[in-house]
C-alpha cells in the first residue's frame, strides 16, 4: 500500500512539473514570439516613415533657408543698386562738374566717431585712376581730399579732420580765408577784419589745382557760417562752418578727375 502511495505521489509531481513547464515556458515564449512578429512590421514601418518624414522636413527647411538667404541677398543688391542709381542721378543733376570726369566710389570704412568721422576709406585706388589730392564730392558739396592711395582702396581726409585745410571764399561777399578741421567742426580763419561775413553765408572752395591737375577744385560747397568771431582790435576774423552734408549717412561719393 505504501509503495502504491509513493508511486502516485511521484506521478503527481511529474504531472505537476510538466504542467508548470507547459504553462510558464512554452506558451510564454510562443506568445511573446507571436506578439513580436505581429508588431515588428508595424513598428518598423512607423519608425521608417517617421525617419523619412523627419529627413524630408529637415531637407525642406534647409532648402527654404537657402532660398530665403538668396532672396535677401538679391533684395540687398537691389536696394544697393537703387541707392547707387539715385546717387548718380542726383549727382549729375546738381554737380557743377562734368559728369564724365566723376568717378563713383563706395564708402567701405571710416575713422573717428561714427556721427562725425574725419576720414573715409573708399573702394577705389590707383587701379581705378585715383591719385592723391583728388577732390571728393557729393552733389556739389565737399566731402574731402584723397590723402592716401592703394591699389584698390584710398583714404579720404574730411574737412573736419585736423589734417585738412583749404583756401575758400564767401560766395555772397567774396571774403577770402582758409578753413581748418577741428574734428568737431570746420573752422574758417584768416579772413580780413575789413571783409564782410554773415551767419548763413555759403563758403566754397577757391581752387588749388597744381601743375599735375590735382588738388581741390573750385566752387565746391564747404558749408555755411553758423557763428562769427570778430574784434576790431584784431587784423583777422574767424567763423565756425557747418557742412551741409550728414557724413554719417553717406554711402557713395564721387571723385573729380
On the question of pLDDT at 230 being above 80, the answer is: yes
In which element (H, E) is residue 205 found?
strand 202-205
The residue ranges of every structural domain in the chain are 1-94, 99-256
pTM: 0.65
Q: What is the mean pLDDT of the chain?
A: 81
Q: Taking a C-beta distance cutoff of 8 angstroms, is the pair 195, 232 a contact? A: no
User: What tens digit of pLDDT does each residue of 114-151 get?
Assistant: 889 999 999 999 999 999 999 999 989 999 999 999 99
In CATH terms, is domain 99-256 a member of 2.40.10.340? yes
pLDDT value for 26:
45
Neighbouring CB atoms inside 10 A of 250's CB total: 17
Amino acid at each position: 500500500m505504501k509503495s502504491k502511495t509513493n508511486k502516485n505521489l511521484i506521478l503527481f509531481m511529474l504531472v505537476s512539473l510538466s504542467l508548470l513547464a507547459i504553462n510558464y515556458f512554452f506558451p510564454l515564449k510562443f506568445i511573446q514570439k507571436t506578439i513580436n512578429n505581429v508588431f515588428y512590421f508595424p513598428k518598423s514601418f512607423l519608425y521608417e516613415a517617421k525617419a523619412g518624414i523627419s529627413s524630408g522636413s529637415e531637407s525642406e527647411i534647409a532648402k527654404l533657408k537657402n532660398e530665403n538667404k538668396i532672396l535677401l541677398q538679391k533684395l540687398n543688391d537691389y536696394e544697393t543698386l537703387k541707392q547707387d542709381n539715385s546717387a548718380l542721378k542726383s549727382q549729375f543733376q546738381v554737380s557743377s562738374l562734368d559728369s564724365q570726369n566723376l568717378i563713383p566710389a563706395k564708402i567701405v570704412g571710416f575713422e573717428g566717431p561714427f556721427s562725425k568721422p574725419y576720414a573715409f576709406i573708399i573702394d577705389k585706388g590707383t587701379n581705378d585712376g585715383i591719385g592723391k589730392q583728388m577732390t571728393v564730392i557729393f552733389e556739389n558739396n565737399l566731402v574731402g581730399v584723397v590723402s592716401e592711395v592703394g591699389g584698390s582702396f584710398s583714404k579720404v581726409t574730411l574737412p573736419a579732420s585736423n589734417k585738412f585745410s583749404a583756401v575758400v571764399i564767401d560766395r555772397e561777399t567774396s571774403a577770402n580765408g582758409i578753413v581748418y578741421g577741428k574734428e568737431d567742426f570746420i573752422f574758417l580763419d584768416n579772413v580780413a577784419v575789413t571783409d564782410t561775413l554773415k551767419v548763413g553765408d555759403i563758403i566754397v572752395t577757391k581752387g588749388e589745382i597744381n601743375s599735375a591737375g590735382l588738388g581741390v577744385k573750385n566752387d565746391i560747397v564747404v558749408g555755411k557760417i553758423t557763428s562769427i568771431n570778430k574784434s576790431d582790435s584784431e587784423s583777422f576774423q574767424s567763423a565756425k562752418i557747418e557742412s551741409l552734408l550728414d557724413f554719417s549717412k553717406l554711402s557713395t561719393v564721387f571723385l573729380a578727375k
